[in-house]
A = this chain, B = another copy of it.
């Protein structure tokens, strides 16, 4: 054994006499650039021997170095063997640099380090003096080209059956695709000639309504296509409950196939647009809620939706794509995000990954609101989560003029404190037809700070303004007069609408506070609040605080991360180290069943005021209310 020390890192390794510097460097974990696979042909693996005895191939070296350079110790790492202890300097240009990538929706860069990689190798054909088996020859070649250590790679039977003919037919020039698997690396594909630049992967947000696909070039490290389409399962039921019941009656296979088809349609759109072959997509990473993930995998979700709400599996899973009918490379794999419970699924884990809260010391609060809401509180040490039904009000349901975020929906409103005239914008800028969730939150907040409504949500009919009137059942506030709408009638908000909105926001706020109490944290301990999902996109953060949807913290510490599910899937696709943390994150998260927490009901009751019974928790809101009280007298 001899010791070789590499500079500038001072990394050391003991190796046998006669080992090449390249082998030693690779075993020391240094990624040296070797395009030719260590045959002394490409001249990329230049290092400088600073002390120690070596033996090298003078002829190979003379092609790349002048006599002067050779005197300085310059040599090819692949064609120089150790004859004693060595001190070797590796210039930065010789090392393969980690590529860093900025993913949409993230503030920091992620290293390009995917689970699947391709290696082009030109192998020496076997001879009587080197009759090593085809597999060893191939794997050593891949190792020399910068791949994993040969002993850690293995080939499944289907590859072993292809290898001998493929190597000889291609004249020993092949591209191997290597995937990281538990316990090692698997050779998942072998192609003739150099296809190493054709390596793609897809990150997918599998929602119950919509499927979003990001297609990545995993060599260049950029997005080459984005596509989305409806989840075709909608034909088996509008919501998840209906679909699980459909599966219970008719079996799961149709829903499984529809989930795969929904992904395939988006995948095809994205790959066609990018002009790439779907066979060059080797990996698909899917973040979805617990039921959607079970359905895609063909695992019975029936027990998730009924007491005691038990998933079959919550770990991350890696599955052959062809087993699921996903139309990528036939040897490609699907990675599904882990879950915590029935409600805290892979989509929420993806949110956590994308906001980075599980990597930081400081405490964050993550909120994902739809018909249901999920809340996660924690940091890199601990995390608590819960989920509940927000009711449809925040999405524009159960509100007279509420609507989804379609054209004509009012998404932003301010109200003039004097005239009470609303100023608003609509989606697509057409005449208003109703109000979306974010518009309703704005409206509620504006009505509160203009003292049109009190902290119970009752309309102050004492104010003399035509917009405030009593209707048959409830008092109401006219947001847009009929002639200015696209529907020919007054768009109003009633006291009943306001009651429904308050009930919804109270659930979310009570859930946040329940977790905070569980963790012994006050609002002052929360460094950041993250909104994930479409809801957050249009939300006015100040108004969300004003109505008491969330605990009050400085407004600039509240962030919207957008589609965290697809961002998290993107991260897990391009960086396998991040992916490896997912199961740990999922295991770390304690799930709090709100219905079993007496604190939740107490807190809910306290939260059915605007913003809350205890105004001291909302000092900024209190200031605004004081100001409006002055205004109204």
Contact = CB atoms under 8 A, between A and B. Distances in A.
Given A128-B308, A154-B182, A157-B298, A134 B313 contact: yes
Contacts of A596: 128-129
A314 B136 contact: yes
A132 B130 CA distance: 55
Contacts of A131: 308-310, 341-342
A325 to B, nearest CB: 12
A165 B300 contact: yes
A163 interface: yes
Contacts of A154: 182, 315
A302 interface: yes
Given A164-B299, A165-B300, A299-B160, A312 B182 contact: no
Nearest to A168: B303
Nearest to A302: B164
Contacts of A310: 126, 131-134
Copies in the complex: 2
Contacts of A160: 297, 299, 312-313, 317
A598 interface: no
Nearest to A320: B157
Contacts of A127: 308
A389 interface: no
B312 A134 contact: yes
A128 B595 CA distance: 10
B128 A315 contact: no
Interface string A275-299: 0000000000000000000000111
Contacts of A429: none
Contacts of A165: 300
Given A160-B297, A299-B161, A312 B135 contact: yes
A183 interface: yes
Nearest to A596: B128
Contacts of A319: 157
A91 interface: no
Interface string A113-149: 0000000000000111111111110000000000000
Contact of A161 (B132, B298, B314, B342): B298
A323 interface: yes
A340 to B, nearest CB: 10
A155 interface: yes
A184 interface: yes
A313 B133 contact: yes
A313 B135 contact: yes
Nearest to A128: B308
Contacts of A314: 133, 135-136
Contacts of A130: 308
Interface string A561-579: 0000000000000000000
Given A131-B310, A313-B133, A161 B300 contact: yes
A524 B89 CA distance: 50
Given A126-B310, A183-B183, 16 more contacts: A126-B308, A127-B308, A130-B308, A131-B310, A131-B342, A132-B310, A134-B313, A135-B313, A135-B314, A136-B314, A154-B315, A155-B313, A157-B323, A164-B303, A182-B183, A183-B184
Interface of A: 126-136, 154-155, 157, 160-161, 163-165, 181-184, 297-300, 302-303, 307-315, 317, 319, 323, 341-342, 593, 596
- 9 A-B pairs with the lowest CB-CB distances in the bound complex, closest first: A183-B183, A182-B183, A135-B313, A133-B311, A126-B310, A131-B308, A134-B312, A128-B308, A164-B300
